[in-house]
Amino acid sequence: MKRYSKEHEWVELQGTEAVMGITAYAAAELGDITYVEVPALGKKVKVNDVLCVVESVKAASDVYAPVGGEVCAVNGNLDADPALVNQSSEDKGWFCRLTGVAQTEFDALMTADQYAAYTAGLK
Amino acid sequence: MSLIFELSVPGRRGTTLPGLDVPAADAIPAGLRRIKPAALPEVSELDAVRHFVNLSRLNIGVDTCFYPLGSCTMKYNPKFHERIAELPGFAGLHPLLPQLRRGGALTQGALAVLFEAEQFLAELLGFSAFTMQPLAGAHGELTGVMLIAAYHKKRGETRPVMLIPDAAHGTNPASAALAGFTTRTIPSDANGDVDLAALKAALGPEVAGLMLTCPNTLGLYDPNVREICRLVHEAGGLVYGDGANLNAIIGRVRPGDLGFDVMHVNLHKTFGTPHGGGGPGAAPVGVAKVLVPFLPTSRVLKRTDGSYALEYHFPDTIGYVAPFYGNFGIILRAYAYMLTLGAEGVRRVSAAAVLNANYVRAKLRDAFPAAYPRTCMHECVLTAQPLAEAHGVHALDVAKALLDRGFHAPTIYFPLIAPEAVMIEPTETESKQTMDAFIATMLEIAALAERDPEALHRAPEHQTVRRLDETRAARFPDLASLA
């Protein structure tokens, strides 16, 4: 089950480990993505800290941590092929994995239905 | 078009050099001589002339077509001011001369230009003094935020945060970060103005100041600008003004009177000096009285006998921010521009710039509605959202189609808070006929989007290059195709 942030990140929790990326909506809004700066392994973040930077043909944008934790893996394929984020934003285009994630922070995020309603309201 | 290296034929020459009149062995010591011949193109004079003339014909500029690049103020650069800048007394001046002993006496004219240009700007913008040194807009921003940092440091205060509205140019947070600040974003409200409640919530003892563009990048004049300045001052901060959009208000309202403490002025925008490929730019920074002690050195002062001199001794100065006195040739052209127009002419600049932008906005209202439907200032931010939703034709497609139709494209996808943004700044130097031709073309493109959207996805079809692979261009830029 995925949850979604207002800043357009998705996060999927397995136990206390989470995988995250940006949503298909965010990828479409950004346009063709040219570069993703993933965090260093071991970086510790709190909710809403800057976690990654994503550059597209339109803009460079900060990506915020939807939940707190410690970075334990990053998607090494994005360096050679950042277009993965456009093609498969919520699967192959994942950004990083975090450990030590609190269930309560995950539960505070939006469900898929809530997020769909949220983005519909942005138009 | 070929590179000149691809035209090369071994042995072909454009010039015949005279024979050596000294022994070859003595001319250059053996150890300093080239081992392999230089890899220069071997072409005739005619080959070289045709190559560079044809290259120049690919150049797009204000001198070739309407160039409504929003936020950039691509107004006409008067040729008369180029002639002033070419006068040998200015063009031949050595920049070190005024720093040499008694050199000041030989450079009084140039120092007078710097001094009087500063006086004119101070009067026009309502500031106490200017530094003429910064070399372009973002350099002016950096200088300005460094002055704010120096001000707080002198007062013994630690204020590490700079507030920046989400409509700001991307250079604002970059300049603040380079000066050592962390930045905090202030959202815009539903009208496109600074969200006052969010600003109040963000202000505090850690805030050094706010960087505000007036009018903002949506081309809108924030009616709360005085109140915004007051709130920032009340919290102990200073207000930085981004002067990128000064063309909208020049001669009409003075930023210093509104409450701005420091502001850069893009001479290459508002004051009609060349920019883009024709640069360089110049961005003098004006300051309120409280920031004068921190201005960069040197400064040009007028002595009691009426002569001008460079002065270096200001204990609180942030130091040099540029070699010598800034881009003197550009300051000189801007000085000529101010003298040409005079106070009344400058007022007519802003009036015509605002009128022209509103003319374009109103004429395009049905096909390209304004992102925020209200009277704009010197530029209008329209949206291609209706075309995108109905026909899958995006702002990028419209921009590319304009290239095929003889216009430079407007700014697109900026500011980011406006979806499918198309930002048009006609400037005051364009005629109604030119704007009408542009408007007719925009409407033709909108009609084509309905009939044949694929034709717009294919654009441009008649340029030197077609649609570029922007991802690849950003990832693997090929800046010198000489492999």
Measured between beta carbons, the chain A residues lying within 8 angstroms of B417 are none
CA terminus-to-terminus distance, chain B? 16
Q: What is the pLDDT of residue B429?
A: 97
Q: What SS3 state is found at B299?
A: strand
Kindly state whether residues B137 and B202 are assigned to the same domain. yes
Q: What is the pLDDT of residue B37?
A: 85
Kindly state whether residues B210 and B320 are assigned to the same domain. yes
- Rounded CA separation B52/A89 (Å): 46
Q: Is the CB of B416 inside 8 Å of chain A's CB atoms? A: yes
Q: Give whole-number Cα distances, A117 to A106, A123, B189, B418, in Å.
A: 19, 11, 21, 20
Indicate whether B67 belongs to any domain.
no
Measured between beta carbons, the chain A residues lying within 8 angstroms of B470 are 32, 34, 57
Kindly state whether residues B101 and B210 are assigned to the same domain. yes
Q: What is the pLDDT of residue B481?
A: 64
- CA-based nearest distance A60→chain B, Å: 9
Q: Is the CB of A120 inside 8 Å of chain B's CB atoms? A: no
Residue B139 contacts residue B320 (beta carbons within 8 Å): no
- Residue B12, domain extent: 1-57
A34, B170: Cβ pair inside 8 Å?
A: no
Burial of B169 (0-12, 13-18, 19+ CB in 10 A): buried
B474, A60: Cβ pair inside 8 Å?
A: no
Q: Is the CB of B170 inside 8 Å of chain A's CB atoms? A: yes
Kindly state whether residues B95 and B228 are assigned to the same domain. yes
- CA-based nearest distance B472→chain A, Å: 8
Nearest residue in chain A measured CA to CA from B420: A29
The residue that leads in pLDDT, B133 or A1, is B133
Kindly state whether residues B462 and B328 are assigned to the same domain. no
Give the domain-ending residue among B41, B57, B73. B57
The three-point CA angle B346-B352-B353 to 5° equals 90
Tell me, what DSSP letter sits at residue B7? G
Q: Which stretches of B360-420 are assigned E, i.e. beta strand?
A: 380-383, 411-412
Q: Note the helical H segments in B210-327.
A: 225-234, 255-258, 267-270
A57, B474: Cβ pair inside 8 Å?
A: yes
User: Which candidate in A30, A34, A62 is best for mutational testing of the B interface (most B CBs within 10 A)?
Assistant: A34
Indicate whether B71 belongs to any domain.
no
Q: How many domains is chain B partitioned into structurally?
A: 3
Measured between beta carbons, the chain A residues lying within 8 angstroms of B474 are 34-35, 55, 57
Point out the residue among A31, A34, A59 whose CB comes nearest to the CB of B475.
Answer: A34
- Rounded CA separation A77/B467 (Å): 27
B474, A55: Cβ pair inside 8 Å?
A: yes
Kindly state whether residues B332 and B357 are assigned to the same domain. no
Point out the residue among B170, B416, B471 whose CB comes nearest to the CB of A32.
Answer: B471
Q: At residue B89, what are phi and psi to the nearest 5 degrees?
A: -65, -25
Residue B420 contacts residue B395 (beta carbons within 8 Å): yes
Q: Give whole-number Cα distances, B300 to B116, B297, B423, in Å.
A: 10, 9, 39
Q: A4 is written with which tokens? A: 């979604």
Indicate whether B64 belongs to any domain.
no
Q: Taking a contact as any Cβ pair under 8 Å apart, which residues of chain A between 50 and 79 contact chain B?
A: 55, 57-60
Indicate whether B70 belongs to any domain.
no
Give the domain-ending residue among B305, B340, B375. B340
Mean pLDDT of successive 10-residue stretches along chain B, which has 483 residues: 92 89 79 88 96 92 94 95 95 91 91 97 98 96 98 98 95 96 95 97 98 96 98 98 97 98 97 81 97 96 94 95 92 97 97 98 98 96 96 96 97 91 98 98 98 97 88 78 58
Q: A65 is written with which tokens? A: 């941590």
Indicate whether B483 belongs to any domain.
no
Indicate whether B92 belongs to any domain.
yes
Give the domain-ending residue among B312, B340, B368. B340
Kindly state whether residues B383 and B442 are assigned to the same domain. yes
- CA-based nearest distance B298→chain A, Å: 37
CATH number at residue B288: 3.40.640.10
Residue B145 contacts residue B162 (beta carbons within 8 Å): yes
Indicate whether B66 belongs to any domain.
no
Kindly state whether residues B8 and B141 are assigned to the same domain. no
Q: A87 is written with which tokens? A: 């093609």
- Rounded CA separation B122/B338 (Å): 12
Q: Give whole-number Cα distances, B142 to A111, B71, B149, B174, B229, in Å.
A: 43, 19, 10, 9, 20
- Exposure string for B420-429, b = 16+ CB within 10 A, e = fewer: bbbbbbbbbb
Whole-number CA gyration radius for chain A: 13
Residue B424 contacts residue B367 (beta carbons within 8 Å): no
What would the CATH number be for the domain defined by A2-101+109-120? Answer: 2.40.50.100
**Cα dihedral B386→B388→B393→B396 (10° resolution):** 100
- CA-based nearest distance A69→chain B, Å: 23
A58, B413: Cβ pair inside 8 Å?
A: yes
Task: Summarize the confidence of residues A93-111 as an average pLDDT.
Answer: 96
Indicate whether B230 belongs to any domain.
yes
CATH number at residue B416: 3.90.1150.10
Kindly state whether residues B146 and B31 are assigned to the same domain. no
Kindly state whether residues B359 and B326 are assigned to the same domain. no
User: Which candidate in B166, B185, B470 is best for mutational testing of the A interface (most A CBs within 10 A)?
Assistant: B470
Residue B245 contacts residue B216 (beta carbons within 8 Å): yes
Kindly state whether residues B30 and B86 are assigned to the same domain. no
Point out the residue among B170, B416, B471 whose CB comes nearest to the CB of A34.
Answer: B471
Q: At residue A52, what are phi and psi to the nearest 5 degrees?
A: -140, 170
Measured between beta carbons, the chain A residues lying within 8 angstroms of B471 are 32-34, 57, 82-83
Q: Is the CB of A119 inside 8 Å of chain B's CB atoms? A: no
Kindly state whether residues B333 and B219 are assigned to the same domain. yes
